[in-house]
Amino acid sequence: MTRLVPYQETKVHWTDRSRGAFEIRTPWIAVTAAVDEKAVPAVQEAMDAVNNGPKSPRERLVSSYLLKQFEEYPLAFSEPRRLEEYSVIAELVQGQSNVPAEGLRDFAPRWDQQEILDASRIEGTSRHDAVTAVALIRRLRLKEMSANQGVQEQLKELRTVKTTDPKRFVETMRGVLAHSLYVTRNAVSCLSAGLGRHGPADELLRQFIKSETGHDLLVAKSLKALGCENPDGLPLRPEVRDLMELLRQAAATSMLALATLLEGFESLAYDKEPQNLWRMLEDIPGHPRAATGVQEHQRINDSQGHANACLELAATLPPVTAEDVTFALRASEASERLRHSLFANIYKSIGRL
């Protein structure tokens, strides 16, 4: 059975031990739960193992058991599977990496490549577990996202502007939604570049593409509710086009890279602090239905587990090469920088950055 290992940032503490209430927290998300009185000692043991870093077999066992109760959240990564656990291993011997050497050639990476390679390597081989790699890359992206205080401060300022300057707030949100519309309108064509290229992952990718179809209409619905009759006339930042081109390139090139990019696109559900962006569209004077379309979009994504589609796709892959992992890591880091630049420039109109 695959065990979960807590991220370095994952910590657990009691919020009310007498009631069995506790919280699991990272810089990007906090999850609360409660157990009955009889389970408190077991939770305490697991809590200590998570907080101190599980080392012994017993500590790894109890910490993994606790984390599995919350595996839909980005709190941990799975240990690499053993080679005999793979149903498809032919590519381990015969396959060659299809990642082009020129991919992202002008990109200067900062994220720790060796950390990912070491932790995802399958014992006794030179190959890597794709599920482990994606979960570890997810941690680095979420860590960087959380550290980008400029955008976080702009989100807080945006919440204030909603009250103090409603007109400017509406204009800003039209800009945000225009970029979301571009993403949803182009998602299907970009993702479809990967169909027929990745063997066992193909059917899962096809299902994901089908679930994304028509989401642009929901975003357009919110734009119309904000008084925008011609969304195609709104200006777009170049970063959004680069972001979608990166998605298309990954789909056509590497399912592992595509999985890591989908994690970034689908992680809005983790944005609980300072405020979920789409909730800001609620209760706008003169625009009572502005939130309807995008919140339906998010509800569909949540109900279909899109935030963890990255791990499902990775689970279909055979052992992957260090080249594959490196390309996926760089693609994710590039996408996060593009996303940060995009939002920073959109929000410049409401304050300092």
Residues 61/51, Cβ–Cβ less than 8 Å: no
DSSP at 159: H
Q: What's the pLDDT tens digit per position in 319-349?
A: 999 999 999 999 999 999 898 888 888 877 6
Burial annotation 211-230 (CB, 10 A radius, 16+ → b, else e): bbeebbebbbbbbbbbebee
Burial annotation 235-258 (CB, 10 A radius, 16+ → b, else e): eebebbebbbebbbbbbbbbbbbb
Q: What is the dihedral of CA 257, 262, 265, 269, to 10 degrees?
A: -130
Domain ranges for the chain, please list them: 4-73, 130-350
Residue with tokens 């690499």: 80
pLDDT at 107: 62
pLDDT at 94: 34
Report the alpha-carbon distance of residue 128 to residue 256 in Å, rounded. 11
pLDDT at 349: 63
Right CATH number for 130-350 from 3.10.310.40, 3.30.420.40, 1.10.260.40, 1.20.910.10?
1.20.910.10
Report the alpha-carbon distance of residue 160 to residue 172 in Å, rounded. 13
Report the alpha-carbon distance of residue 271 to residue 291 in Å, rounded. 16
Q: Which residues of the chain have pLDDT under 50?
A: 90-103, 269-275, 351-353
Residues 144/336, Cβ–Cβ less than 8 Å: yes
Q: What is the dihedral of CA 237, 269, 77, 112, to 10 degrees?
A: 20
Half-sphere exposure of 42 (CA within 13 A, CB side): 12
